[in-house]
Amino acid sequence: MRDDKASIGKGVDGSLIALYLLLVAIGITAIFAVTYREGDPIVSSFFSFKTDYSKQFYFFIIALAVGTFILLTDSKFFPATANLWYAVGIVLLLLVFPFHSNVKGTESIIRFGGFQFQPAEFCKVCVCLALAKYLSRIDTDFTKTRSQLIAAAIAVSPALITILQKETGLALVYFSFFLVMYREGLPAVVLIVGFSIAALVIATLVIDPNILAIALTAIAALVIYLNRRQVKRNKGLLITIVLIWGVCVGIQRFAVPFLFRHILQKHQTERIFSLFGKDNPYNDAPDEIVAASAKKPVNTADYNVRQSKIAIGSGGVLGKGLLSGTQTRYDFVPEQRTDFIFCTIGEGFGFAGTTVLLAIYLILLFRIVAVAERQRSVFSRCYAYGVAAVFFFHITINVCMTVGLAPVIGIPLPFISYGGTALITFTILLAILIRLDADRQMVLR
Protein backbone atom coordinates (compact mmCIF):
# COMPACT_ATOMS: atom_id res chain seq x y z
CA MET A 1 0.00 0.00 0.00
CA ARG A 2 2.69 2.43 1.10
CA ASP A 3 4.85 1.34 -1.74
CA ASP A 4 2.01 1.91 -4.19
CA LYS A 5 1.41 5.42 -3.00
CA ALA A 6 5.03 6.22 -3.29
CA SER A 7 5.07 4.94 -6.84
CA ILE A 8 2.08 7.12 -7.81
CA GLY A 9 3.56 10.18 -6.23
CA LYS A 10 7.00 9.59 -7.63
CA GLY A 11 7.90 11.96 -10.45
CA VAL A 12 4.51 13.65 -10.45
CA ASP A 13 4.87 17.35 -11.21
CA GLY A 14 3.45 19.10 -8.14
CA SER A 15 3.47 22.56 -9.68
CA LEU A 16 1.08 21.53 -12.47
CA ILE A 17 -1.32 20.00 -9.95
CA ALA A 18 -1.12 23.15 -7.82
CA LEU A 19 -1.84 25.37 -10.82
CA TYR A 20 -4.71 23.08 -11.79
CA LEU A 21 -6.33 23.24 -8.34
CA LEU A 22 -5.84 27.01 -8.20
CA LEU A 23 -7.55 27.54 -11.55
CA VAL A 24 -10.49 25.26 -10.70
CA ALA A 25 -10.92 27.12 -7.41
CA ILE A 26 -10.97 30.46 -9.25
CA GLY A 27 -13.50 29.01 -11.67
CA ILE A 28 -15.93 27.81 -9.01
CA THR A 29 -15.62 31.16 -7.21
CA ALA A 30 -16.39 33.05 -10.42
CA ILE A 31 -19.42 30.87 -11.16
CA PHE A 32 -20.53 31.41 -7.58
CA ALA A 33 -20.22 35.16 -8.09
CA VAL A 34 -22.45 35.01 -11.14
CA THR A 35 -25.19 32.74 -9.92
CA TYR A 36 -25.34 33.33 -6.16
CA ARG A 37 -28.34 35.39 -5.10
CA GLU A 38 -28.72 37.18 -1.80
CA GLY A 39 -30.36 34.95 0.74
CA ASP A 40 -29.38 31.64 -0.76
CA PRO A 41 -28.03 29.28 1.90
CA ILE A 42 -24.42 28.99 0.78
CA VAL A 43 -23.35 25.71 2.32
CA SER A 44 -26.46 23.69 1.63
CA SER A 45 -26.85 24.98 -1.91
CA PHE A 46 -23.19 24.13 -2.46
CA PHE A 47 -23.93 20.47 -2.01
CA SER A 48 -27.44 20.44 -3.42
CA PHE A 49 -26.49 20.02 -7.08
CA LYS A 50 -29.15 22.61 -7.88
CA THR A 51 -27.06 25.71 -8.41
CA ASP A 52 -24.42 26.05 -11.09
CA TYR A 53 -21.53 26.44 -8.67
CA SER A 54 -22.65 23.32 -6.89
CA LYS A 55 -22.83 21.41 -10.16
CA GLN A 56 -19.41 22.66 -11.14
CA PHE A 57 -18.15 21.50 -7.75
CA TYR A 58 -19.49 17.98 -8.39
CA PHE A 59 -18.02 18.03 -11.90
CA PHE A 60 -14.72 18.84 -10.24
CA ILE A 61 -15.11 15.86 -7.91
CA ILE A 62 -15.75 13.62 -10.92
CA ALA A 63 -12.79 15.19 -12.75
CA LEU A 64 -10.60 14.54 -9.72
CA ALA A 65 -11.67 10.91 -9.70
CA VAL A 66 -10.97 10.54 -13.40
CA GLY A 67 -7.62 12.30 -12.97
CA THR A 68 -6.63 10.04 -10.07
CA PHE A 69 -7.62 7.01 -12.12
CA ILE A 70 -5.38 8.21 -14.94
CA LEU A 71 -2.50 8.83 -12.56
CA LEU A 72 -2.91 5.23 -11.39
CA THR A 73 -2.75 3.95 -14.94
CA ASP A 74 0.47 2.63 -16.46
CA SER A 75 1.89 5.31 -18.71
CA LYS A 76 2.51 2.73 -21.45
CA PHE A 77 -1.25 2.43 -21.76
CA PHE A 78 -1.54 5.78 -23.55
CA PRO A 79 0.85 5.32 -26.48
CA ALA A 80 -0.39 1.74 -26.75
CA THR A 81 -4.06 2.69 -27.09
CA ALA A 82 -3.66 6.09 -28.76
CA ASN A 83 -4.93 4.95 -32.14
CA LEU A 84 -7.78 3.09 -30.52
CA TRP A 85 -8.84 6.25 -28.70
CA TYR A 86 -8.67 8.13 -31.95
CA ALA A 87 -11.01 5.60 -33.53
CA VAL A 88 -13.35 5.83 -30.53
CA GLY A 89 -13.32 9.64 -30.79
CA ILE A 90 -14.16 9.61 -34.50
CA VAL A 91 -16.96 7.10 -33.95
CA LEU A 92 -18.39 9.23 -31.16
CA LEU A 93 -18.23 12.27 -33.41
CA LEU A 94 -20.07 10.37 -36.12
CA LEU A 95 -22.64 9.07 -33.63
CA VAL A 96 -23.64 12.65 -33.09
CA PHE A 97 -25.34 12.79 -36.49
CA PRO A 98 -28.06 10.27 -35.72
CA PHE A 99 -28.31 10.88 -31.98
CA HIS A 100 -27.73 14.58 -31.48
CA SER A 101 -30.18 16.76 -29.62
CA ASN A 102 -30.70 20.33 -30.59
CA VAL A 103 -29.37 22.64 -27.91
CA LYS A 104 -28.88 26.33 -28.58
CA GLY A 105 -28.46 25.89 -32.31
CA THR A 106 -25.62 23.42 -32.10
CA GLU A 107 -25.95 19.85 -33.29
CA SER A 108 -22.90 18.52 -31.54
CA ILE A 109 -24.40 17.32 -28.28
CA ILE A 110 -25.49 13.82 -27.34
CA ARG A 111 -27.87 13.62 -24.44
CA PHE A 112 -28.41 10.61 -22.24
CA GLY A 113 -30.42 10.87 -19.12
CA GLY A 114 -29.91 14.24 -17.58
CA PHE A 115 -26.41 14.57 -18.93
CA GLN A 116 -25.14 16.22 -22.05
CA PHE A 117 -22.01 15.05 -23.74
CA GLN A 118 -20.14 16.86 -26.47
CA PRO A 119 -17.88 14.42 -28.36
CA ALA A 120 -16.08 17.26 -30.15
CA GLU A 121 -14.82 18.37 -26.76
CA PHE A 122 -13.60 14.92 -25.75
CA CYS A 123 -12.11 14.20 -29.16
CA LYS A 124 -9.35 16.73 -28.49
CA VAL A 125 -7.73 14.21 -26.15
CA CYS A 126 -7.93 11.50 -28.81
CA VAL A 127 -6.37 13.68 -31.49
CA CYS A 128 -3.66 14.78 -29.11
CA LEU A 129 -2.79 11.17 -28.35
CA ALA A 130 -3.04 9.99 -31.95
CA LEU A 131 -0.94 12.83 -33.31
CA ALA A 132 1.72 12.20 -30.68
CA LYS A 133 1.61 8.51 -31.53
CA TYR A 134 1.99 9.16 -35.24
CA LEU A 135 4.79 11.67 -34.84
CA SER A 136 6.68 9.42 -32.47
CA ARG A 137 6.57 6.40 -34.76
CA ILE A 138 10.06 5.28 -35.73
CA ASP A 139 9.13 4.98 -39.39
CA THR A 140 7.68 8.48 -39.53
CA ASP A 141 10.02 10.85 -41.26
CA PHE A 142 8.48 14.17 -40.57
CA THR A 143 10.65 15.93 -43.09
CA LYS A 144 8.66 14.23 -45.83
CA THR A 145 5.60 15.99 -47.17
CA ARG A 146 3.61 12.77 -47.07
CA SER A 147 4.08 12.43 -43.32
CA GLN A 148 3.20 16.06 -42.84
CA LEU A 149 0.00 15.61 -44.79
CA ILE A 150 -0.96 12.51 -42.81
CA ALA A 151 -0.30 14.36 -39.54
CA ALA A 152 -2.37 17.27 -40.77
CA ALA A 153 -5.17 14.89 -41.75
CA ILE A 154 -5.16 13.32 -38.28
CA ALA A 155 -5.58 16.77 -36.75
CA VAL A 156 -8.00 18.26 -39.25
CA SER A 157 -10.44 15.42 -40.03
CA PRO A 158 -12.30 15.69 -36.65
CA ALA A 159 -12.44 19.42 -37.32
CA LEU A 160 -14.25 18.82 -40.60
CA ILE A 161 -16.78 16.56 -38.89
CA THR A 162 -17.27 19.19 -36.21
CA ILE A 163 -17.88 21.90 -38.82
CA LEU A 164 -20.65 19.72 -40.22
CA GLN A 165 -22.17 19.81 -36.72
CA LYS A 166 -22.29 23.59 -36.90
CA GLU A 167 -19.62 23.98 -34.23
CA THR A 168 -17.07 26.00 -36.14
CA GLY A 169 -15.60 27.35 -32.94
CA LEU A 170 -14.71 23.93 -31.58
CA ALA A 171 -13.41 22.89 -35.00
CA LEU A 172 -10.93 25.73 -35.00
CA VAL A 173 -9.30 24.25 -31.89
CA TYR A 174 -7.96 21.35 -33.96
CA PHE A 175 -5.93 23.77 -36.05
CA SER A 176 -3.94 24.55 -32.92
CA PHE A 177 -2.23 21.17 -33.37
CA PHE A 178 -0.16 22.75 -36.14
CA LEU A 179 1.85 24.16 -33.22
CA VAL A 180 2.88 20.61 -32.35
CA MET A 181 3.85 19.89 -35.94
CA TYR A 182 5.79 23.12 -36.04
CA ARG A 183 7.74 22.03 -33.00
CA GLU A 184 8.40 18.67 -34.64
CA GLY A 185 9.80 20.24 -37.76
CA LEU A 186 6.97 21.35 -39.98
CA PRO A 187 8.58 23.86 -42.36
CA ALA A 188 8.02 27.44 -41.25
CA VAL A 189 6.91 28.15 -44.83
CA VAL A 190 3.69 26.26 -44.21
CA LEU A 191 2.87 28.45 -41.24
CA ILE A 192 3.91 31.58 -43.10
CA VAL A 193 1.62 30.67 -45.97
CA GLY A 194 -1.12 29.88 -43.49
CA PHE A 195 -0.71 33.22 -41.80
CA SER A 196 -0.59 34.98 -45.15
CA ILE A 197 -3.85 33.41 -46.19
CA ALA A 198 -5.39 34.38 -42.84
CA ALA A 199 -4.13 37.93 -43.33
CA LEU A 200 -5.55 37.97 -46.83
CA VAL A 201 -8.95 36.76 -45.59
CA ILE A 202 -9.03 39.47 -42.94
CA ALA A 203 -7.95 42.06 -45.51
CA THR A 204 -10.81 40.89 -47.74
CA LEU A 205 -13.25 41.56 -44.94
CA VAL A 206 -11.86 44.95 -44.10
CA ILE A 207 -10.90 46.42 -47.47
CA ASP A 208 -13.14 47.04 -50.46
CA PRO A 209 -12.68 44.08 -52.92
CA ASN A 210 -11.70 46.21 -55.90
CA ILE A 211 -9.17 48.27 -53.99
CA LEU A 212 -7.71 45.09 -52.55
CA ALA A 213 -7.42 43.54 -56.02
CA ILE A 214 -5.66 46.62 -57.31
CA ALA A 215 -3.35 46.60 -54.30
CA LEU A 216 -2.51 42.91 -54.84
CA THR A 217 -1.80 43.56 -58.50
CA ALA A 218 0.40 46.50 -57.59
CA ILE A 219 2.34 44.36 -55.10
CA ALA A 220 2.80 41.64 -57.72
CA ALA A 221 4.02 44.21 -60.27
CA LEU A 222 6.40 45.69 -57.71
CA VAL A 223 7.82 42.25 -56.87
CA ILE A 224 8.38 41.50 -60.57
CA TYR A 225 10.02 44.90 -61.08
CA LEU A 226 12.34 44.47 -58.10
CA ASN A 227 13.33 40.99 -59.30
CA ARG A 228 13.40 41.88 -62.97
CA ARG A 229 16.94 40.50 -63.45
CA GLN A 230 16.12 37.12 -61.94
CA VAL A 231 12.82 37.09 -63.82
CA LYS A 232 14.70 37.63 -67.10
CA ARG A 233 16.93 34.71 -66.37
CA ASN A 234 14.27 32.48 -64.85
CA LYS A 235 10.81 32.44 -66.44
CA GLY A 236 9.68 30.00 -63.73
CA LEU A 237 9.91 32.72 -61.12
CA LEU A 238 7.62 34.96 -63.15
CA ILE A 239 5.11 32.14 -63.45
CA THR A 240 5.31 31.51 -59.69
CA ILE A 241 4.69 35.15 -58.89
CA VAL A 242 1.77 35.34 -61.33
CA LEU A 243 0.38 32.10 -59.87
CA ILE A 244 0.62 33.44 -56.32
CA TRP A 245 -1.07 36.63 -57.48
CA GLY A 246 -3.79 34.59 -59.13
CA VAL A 247 -4.36 32.50 -56.00
CA CYS A 248 -4.53 35.63 -53.85
CA VAL A 249 -7.07 37.33 -56.05
CA GLY A 250 -8.97 34.06 -56.29
CA ILE A 251 -9.16 33.77 -52.53
CA GLN A 252 -10.16 37.38 -52.21
CA ARG A 253 -12.71 37.28 -55.02
CA PHE A 254 -14.23 33.84 -54.77
CA ALA A 255 -13.04 31.75 -51.85
CA VAL A 256 -13.90 34.19 -49.07
CA PRO A 257 -17.38 35.04 -50.36
CA PHE A 258 -17.97 31.31 -50.83
CA LEU A 259 -16.80 30.64 -47.30
CA PHE A 260 -19.05 33.29 -45.85
CA ARG A 261 -22.06 32.44 -47.93
CA HIS A 262 -22.05 28.68 -47.79
CA ILE A 263 -19.82 27.35 -45.03
CA LEU A 264 -20.11 29.68 -42.08
CA GLN A 265 -23.39 30.16 -40.29
CA LYS A 266 -25.10 33.51 -40.58
CA HIS A 267 -24.54 34.38 -36.93
CA GLN A 268 -20.87 33.57 -37.30
CA THR A 269 -20.38 35.88 -40.26
CA GLU A 270 -22.21 38.59 -38.39
CA ARG A 271 -20.01 38.13 -35.36
CA ILE A 272 -16.92 38.33 -37.52
CA PHE A 273 -18.10 41.45 -39.28
CA SER A 274 -19.24 43.07 -36.06
CA LEU A 275 -15.69 42.63 -34.81
CA PHE A 276 -14.60 44.96 -37.58
CA GLY A 277 -17.58 47.20 -36.98
CA LYS A 278 -19.20 46.38 -40.31
CA ASP A 279 -22.55 45.12 -41.54
CA ASN A 280 -22.59 41.71 -43.12
CA PRO A 281 -22.26 42.30 -46.88
CA TYR A 282 -22.83 38.62 -47.70
CA ASN A 283 -26.32 38.64 -46.32
CA ASP A 284 -27.86 38.20 -49.74
CA ALA A 285 -31.05 36.60 -48.45
CA PRO A 286 -32.96 39.57 -47.09
CA ASP A 287 -35.41 37.73 -44.91
CA GLU A 288 -37.99 39.32 -42.67
CA ILE A 289 -35.46 39.99 -39.93
CA VAL A 290 -33.34 42.09 -42.22
CA ALA A 291 -36.43 43.85 -43.53
CA ALA A 292 -37.54 44.59 -40.00
CA SER A 293 -34.10 45.78 -39.07
CA ALA A 294 -34.25 48.69 -41.49
CA LYS A 295 -34.61 50.78 -38.37
CA LYS A 296 -32.66 48.45 -36.14
CA PRO A 297 -31.62 50.40 -33.07
CA VAL A 298 -28.67 48.32 -31.96
CA ASN A 299 -26.44 45.87 -33.65
CA THR A 300 -27.48 42.70 -31.91
CA ALA A 301 -24.50 40.72 -33.15
CA ASP A 302 -22.06 42.65 -31.02
CA TYR A 303 -24.38 43.00 -28.00
CA ASN A 304 -22.45 40.31 -26.10
CA VAL A 305 -19.11 41.85 -26.84
CA ARG A 306 -20.26 45.36 -25.99
CA GLN A 307 -21.72 44.28 -22.67
CA SER A 308 -18.68 42.15 -21.99
CA LYS A 309 -16.34 45.07 -22.67
CA ILE A 310 -18.47 47.29 -20.43
CA ALA A 311 -18.29 44.67 -17.69
CA ILE A 312 -14.53 44.26 -17.91
CA GLY A 313 -13.91 47.98 -18.40
CA SER A 314 -16.08 48.96 -15.45
CA GLY A 315 -13.91 46.84 -13.18
CA GLY A 316 -11.20 49.49 -13.24
CA VAL A 317 -7.84 48.84 -11.63
CA LEU A 318 -8.90 46.93 -8.55
CA GLY A 319 -12.45 45.87 -9.44
CA LYS A 320 -15.76 46.18 -7.67
CA GLY A 321 -15.24 43.15 -5.46
CA LEU A 322 -16.76 39.72 -5.54
CA LEU A 323 -20.59 39.76 -5.82
CA SER A 324 -20.61 43.51 -6.44
CA GLY A 325 -20.38 43.65 -10.21
CA THR A 326 -23.60 45.09 -11.57
CA GLN A 327 -22.94 43.97 -15.13
CA THR A 328 -22.38 40.33 -14.38
CA ARG A 329 -24.72 40.08 -11.43
CA TYR A 330 -27.75 41.31 -13.37
CA ASP A 331 -27.35 39.23 -16.50
CA PHE A 332 -26.24 41.98 -18.84
CA VAL A 333 -23.61 39.68 -20.29
CA PRO A 334 -25.12 36.59 -21.88
CA GLU A 335 -23.42 33.22 -21.30
CA GLN A 336 -21.39 34.67 -18.49
CA ARG A 337 -21.10 31.42 -16.58
CA THR A 338 -19.65 29.65 -19.57
CA ASP A 339 -17.92 31.46 -22.40
CA PHE A 340 -17.94 34.94 -20.86
CA ILE A 341 -16.77 33.94 -17.37
CA PHE A 342 -13.72 36.16 -17.85
CA CYS A 343 -16.04 39.20 -17.52
CA THR A 344 -16.92 38.24 -13.97
CA ILE A 345 -13.26 38.25 -13.01
CA GLY A 346 -12.66 41.47 -14.96
CA GLU A 347 -15.53 43.28 -13.28
CA GLY A 348 -15.04 41.86 -9.83
CA PHE A 349 -11.27 42.10 -9.55
CA GLY A 350 -10.29 44.68 -12.14
CA PHE A 351 -7.05 44.93 -14.03
CA ALA A 352 -5.17 43.41 -11.11
CA GLY A 353 -7.37 40.32 -11.19
CA THR A 354 -7.24 39.81 -14.94
CA THR A 355 -3.48 40.20 -15.15
CA VAL A 356 -2.96 37.80 -12.27
CA LEU A 357 -5.20 35.26 -14.00
CA LEU A 358 -3.32 35.73 -17.28
CA ALA A 359 -0.04 35.31 -15.39
CA ILE A 360 -1.28 32.05 -13.87
CA TYR A 361 -2.19 30.80 -17.32
CA LEU A 362 1.17 31.89 -18.73
CA ILE A 363 2.99 30.10 -15.92
CA LEU A 364 0.91 27.00 -16.69
CA LEU A 365 1.77 27.15 -20.39
CA PHE A 366 5.47 27.78 -19.74
CA ARG A 367 5.51 24.94 -17.25
CA ILE A 368 3.93 22.59 -19.81
CA VAL A 369 6.50 23.63 -22.44
CA ALA A 370 9.26 23.12 -19.91
CA VAL A 371 7.83 19.70 -19.06
CA ALA A 372 7.61 18.90 -22.76
CA GLU A 373 11.21 19.79 -23.36
CA ARG A 374 12.45 17.51 -20.58
CA GLN A 375 10.79 14.43 -22.07
CA ARG A 376 12.97 11.78 -23.49
CA SER A 377 10.19 10.23 -25.43
CA VAL A 378 8.96 11.91 -28.58
CA PHE A 379 5.43 10.71 -27.80
CA SER A 380 5.44 12.47 -24.46
CA ARG A 381 6.92 15.63 -25.93
CA CYS A 382 4.41 15.76 -28.78
CA TYR A 383 1.58 15.08 -26.40
CA ALA A 384 2.75 17.85 -24.05
CA TYR A 385 2.95 20.31 -26.90
CA GLY A 386 -0.53 19.24 -27.97
CA VAL A 387 -1.83 20.03 -24.49
CA ALA A 388 -0.05 23.41 -24.48
CA ALA A 389 -1.43 24.23 -27.93
CA VAL A 390 -5.02 23.34 -26.96
CA PHE A 391 -4.82 25.36 -23.74
CA PHE A 392 -3.16 28.27 -25.49
CA PHE A 393 -5.80 28.36 -28.20
CA HIS A 394 -8.68 28.19 -25.75
CA ILE A 395 -7.29 30.87 -23.47
CA THR A 396 -6.34 33.24 -26.26
CA ILE A 397 -9.54 32.99 -28.25
CA ASN A 398 -11.79 33.06 -25.18
CA VAL A 399 -10.15 36.07 -23.57
CA CYS A 400 -9.75 37.87 -26.89
CA MET A 401 -13.44 37.53 -27.64
CA THR A 402 -14.43 38.95 -24.25
CA VAL A 403 -12.21 41.98 -24.72
CA GLY A 404 -13.22 42.47 -28.33
CA LEU A 405 -10.06 41.28 -30.07
CA ALA A 406 -11.58 38.18 -31.66
CA PRO A 407 -15.00 37.29 -33.00
CA VAL A 408 -17.37 35.51 -30.66
CA ILE A 409 -16.48 31.82 -30.85
CA GLY A 410 -18.13 29.69 -28.24
CA ILE A 411 -15.18 27.96 -26.63
CA PRO A 412 -14.66 27.69 -22.90
CA LEU A 413 -11.90 29.11 -20.72
CA PRO A 414 -9.92 26.08 -19.45
CA PHE A 415 -10.75 25.03 -15.85
CA ILE A 416 -12.81 28.17 -15.20
CA SER A 417 -15.84 28.16 -17.48
CA TYR A 418 -18.91 26.33 -16.26
CA GLY A 419 -19.43 22.98 -17.98
CA GLY A 420 -18.79 19.37 -17.03
CA THR A 421 -17.48 18.01 -20.34
CA ALA A 422 -14.99 20.82 -20.74
CA LEU A 423 -13.67 20.55 -17.19
CA ILE A 424 -13.32 16.78 -17.36
CA THR A 425 -11.70 16.91 -20.81
CA PHE A 426 -9.13 19.49 -19.70
CA THR A 427 -8.49 17.47 -16.56
CA ILE A 428 -7.91 14.30 -18.61
CA LEU A 429 -5.56 16.20 -20.95
CA LEU A 430 -3.52 17.48 -18.02
CA ALA A 431 -3.66 14.25 -16.01
CA ILE A 432 -2.30 12.18 -18.90
CA LEU A 433 0.49 14.72 -19.30
CA ILE A 434 1.34 14.48 -15.59
CA ARG A 435 1.28 10.67 -15.80
CA LEU A 436 3.56 10.65 -18.86
CA ASP A 437 5.86 13.19 -17.24
CA ALA A 438 6.08 11.10 -14.10
CA ASP A 439 7.54 8.30 -16.25
CA ARG A 440 9.75 10.57 -18.33
CA GLN A 441 12.74 8.30 -17.69
CA MET A 442 11.03 5.59 -19.71
CA VAL A 443 11.24 5.67 -23.43
CA LEU A 444 7.85 5.36 -24.94
CA ARG A 445 6.94 4.85 -28.49
Name the site residues for another protein (rule: CB under 8 A). 179, 182-185, 307, 309-317, 326-327, 330-332, 346-347, 350-351, 354-355, 358, 361-362, 365-366, 369, 372-373, 376-378, 385, 388, 392, 396, 399-400, 403-405, 443
Closer to another protein by CB, 382 or 438: give it. Answer: 382
- Looking at the DSSP bridge assignments, the partners of residue 65 are none
What are the b/e assignments for 248-258, b being 16+ CB within 10 Å?
A: bbebbbeebee
* Min dist. Cβ of residue 7 to another protein (A): 25
Closest approach of Cβ 405 to another protein, in Å?
6
390, 124 Cβ separation under 8 angstroms: yes
To another protein, the closest distance from the beta carbon of 183 in angstroms equals: 5
* Positive or negative: CA dihedral 328, 397, 409, 180: negative
Query: What is the closest distance, in whole angstroms, from the C-beta atom of residue 437 to another protein in the complex?
Result: 16
Which spans in 166-252 are helix H?
168-174, 178-183, 188-206, 209-226, 228-233, 235-250
Rank residues 133 and 183 by Cβ distance to another protein and give the closer one: 183
Instruction: In angstroms, give the least distance from the CB of 309 to another protein.
Output: 6
60 vs 178, beta carbon nearer another protein: 178
Smallest separation, CB 384 to another protein (Å) = 10
Q: Give whichever of 59 and 178 is closer to another protein, judged by the CB atom.
A: 178
- Please say which residue, 302 or 347, places its beta carbon nearer to another protein: 347
Q: Which is nearer to another protein, 31 or 135 (CB)?
A: 135
CA 1 to chain centre: 40
Distance CA 67, CA 432 (A): 8
Q: 424 with 70: CB under 8 angstroms?
A: no
At residue 393, the 3 state secondary structure works out as helix
CA distances to 33, 255, 256, 444 from 197, rounded to whole Å, are: 41, 11, 10, 37
